[in-house]
Copies of this chain bind each other. A is one copy, B any other.
């Protein structure tokens, strides 16, 4: 090295002591840093960072990069995810969270919907049940790494209150049916409820109010047309059970000579606002219609096979560009609100159905639970991957669970070996709602006690003949 260069270097070194405080003060302010984890970004390139950092400010991700970038930010809180998997929060595209209070009631019985679910709901569902049931369900989802859910139920103001309190992200849809509902004595009363609910809460940063016509076989065509017009005018999502039941298929064939998808197209509901749950019985031409309409599909594998209905061609739909996400359905159908638990079922059932073990690679399945869910809800600009600009819904898995060791392929580990209890920390909208398995926004003990009290009340009613 020549003399002038060495002198220059020395000068720079001595200068560094002056520069250092400047560097410190030059740290960009942030709210939260998650660092040292194995980061699955789920971005377009499916980038994985061995020891990565995610920086959050004002509910959004502002930076994703290697461990070293953490030092550029000054945040009030840093979570050390050393050795753990860090990924986007999972998205549950179809559920009825408050039905946790009925979990494991009426399993293994025929015609469960009309013999158990509708009578139980008619007699027992009230504001109190919806509030505590939704809180319990949202708690289970946060504990299992689900940060967003699309929900259809009754007494949506109570669901709103519960979700707001716990801090989840949700679409809450007011259920509309052609018979008296728990929150609407007149048939179709859910529509007025829904419009009132939408007016009260549109624009909420975390909760999107929506309409939820129950299914093509529980509403008439005139009301479905009206709902389609209202949803368009209000520009809100429409949640609906579609192509799920054999009786539905038979009824629509008989009355309209149509498939459910064709029928929804005819009444004006098949469009980008629709999130169609199940879609088990869809033809190739239905799939083309779904694609063309830009509707979303919620694939609920566990609930669909438990009820022996069948395996939806969801991967085929996704491959053809339909917006497909995963859903748990309600806890009287799928028993848990565990999206992670769906992953193994989705992968294995599609392999089995096609008799091809190479189908449904793990990375595609994790994508369905994250980006896929975001696409199904038309929220891909904000959700589904860890990228600067997106909303900060982030989960961190345990690094030390026996079942997650070794970890040659993090996607395979998540799909085939992880359990919902391996989620350690859940962040929604930049807020840490669970840290080291402890919920930060609610009193979990109280929620459990309330749900146990509801169980007693429900058991007494069932013993007295309500079902």
We find that the number of chain A residues with CB closer than 8 angstroms to chain B is 67
B-binding segment of A29-37, A72-80, A231-239, A410-418: A410-418
Task: Say yes or no: is A101 at the interface (Cβ < 8 Å to chain B).
Answer: yes
- Residues of chain A from 326 to 368 with CB closer than 8 A to chain B in the complex: 331, 334-336, 338, 344-345, 347-349, 351-352, 354-362
Task: Say yes or no: is A4 at the interface (Cβ < 8 Å to chain B).
Answer: no
Return chain B residues, CB-CB under 8 Å to A105. 408-409
CB distance B108 to A361 under 8 Å? yes
CB distance A405 to B136 under 8 Å? yes
The answer to whether A103 and B140 touch (CB under 8 A), given A352-B310, A356-B308, A448-B400, is no
Return chain B residues, CB-CB under 8 Å to A288. none
Return chain B residues, CB-CB under 8 Å to A102. 406
CA A448 to CA B454, docked complex, whole Å: 42
What is the chain B residue whose CB lies nearest that of A141? Answer: B402
Return chain B residues, CB-CB under 8 Å to A406. 100-104, 451-452, 454-455, 458
Q: Contacts A104-B406, A104-B417 given; 16 further ones with Cβ under 8 A?
A: A102-B406, A103-B408, A105-B408, A108-B360, A108-B412, A305-B349, A307-B357, A308-B355, A310-B352, A310-B355, A336-B416, A402-B444, A405-B448, A405-B455, A406-B451, A408-B458
The 4 A-B pairs at the shortest CB distance, nearest first, are namely A406-B455, A335-B416, A421-B421, A104-B412
Write the residues of chain A forming the contact surface with B, with a CB cutoff of 8 angstroms: 100-105, 107-110, 112, 136, 139-140, 143, 302, 305-308, 310-311, 331, 334-336, 338, 344-345, 347-349, 351-352, 354-362, 400, 402-403, 405-409, 412-413, 416-417, 419-422, 444, 448, 451-452, 454-455, 458-459
